[in-house]
Structure 1
């Protein structure tokens, strides 16, 4: 898969199921990583199938959305996943896009989520011309709440519209992003 974008330290690229399975397994089999997630795997086989499914889903959508690997430029190690994808209301895709991220524990606390999210927001607003991007998370996921605040996202409130459970919702409008870009260093 092609590279989507990059930052000073990171490459955001498509998943390579054969090469990336071990990294996905490390991330999605770790109970601390998956504490607030639906995505969990118990074997390398499940991790491979997960990556294959993601690659196929977004290739079929062919709308610029995706769930991509976050890799370190220096070592090419996969340290996480970042997504920019349409939210579902039940079984139907909406026109609302969500940004989200998951990182291996070894990558926590190093600013990778914020750095990757800034680059993917820039891609979403500038390349995909999205008017607004949402982020939805478990209210107790304090680390993700910190990231959305660093990104300049505003709290919308609680919702159960998209994931069949009550979650915290944040948003960032394109015009607010463009005004904030000099301050948040994109």
Structure 2
């Protein structure tokens, strides 16, 4: 699957050869604030944990994986947009695609996340079996919640996110694919 460029951005499905870009992005404590409480990723973690997880759900034909986002004008890597079935590592729901994003701080506040996520969401939700798109974020990640709302996703519920660092309040947003903004 290919994703058409927008006026400002181009996209490419990432793979194990992109470890350096993933490391570069995850090496900023502010980028990682709402993901790992600010703990940056090591190259070893990228190669031994992140890349195998990516390869588990990556599907080029369906558009699942991490879509590299570049500014066309300068060919600058600014982040990625994730696409995979909701609950992929527990009980995958192939009719509901999870969308997520991670962007470099230098690109924040410029509408890139919303622009990229919308272009990618529309492309990957075209197949008939896809009925909805969903996204999650920690409750205090107001930037990501704003992107969710710009995409047309609506608040579904509060829940407790559990990971190796503890429990934190989180939110789930979702919408039928026809309601993407």
After TM superposition, list the pairs within 5 Å mapping 1:33-112 onto structure 2: 33-38=31-36, 41-49=40-48, 52-53=51-52, 56-59=55-58, 63-88=62-87, 91-95=90-94, 96-112=96-112
Question: What does 1:99-138 correspond to in 2, within 5 Å?
Answer: 99-127=99-127, 129-138=129-138
Judging by fraction of residues, say which structure has more helix: 1
Change (3 A) 1:54 1:31: same
1:109-168: CA deviation from partner (whole Å, max 9, x where unpaired): 111100001101111222465211011100100111111111121111213489775420
Distance 1:157 1:10 in 2: 32
Q: Which runs of 5+ in 2 are unaligned?
A: none
Structure 1 length as normaliser, TM-score? 0.78
Q: For each residue in 1:42-83, what CA deviation from the matched residue of structure 2 results, as whole angstroms up to 9, or x when unmatched?
A: 434443456643552234696431122111222222110101
Scaled by the length of structure 2, what TM-score is found? 0.80
**Closer, same or farther: CA 162–45 of 1 in aligned 2, 3 Å:** closer
Contact map agreement 1:5 1:13 (CA 8 A) in 2: no
Indicate the larger mover: 133-142 or 89-98: 89-98
Match of 2:22 among 21, 24, 35: 24
Q: Is the 8 A contact 1:23 1:79 kept in 2?
A: no
Aligned length: 176
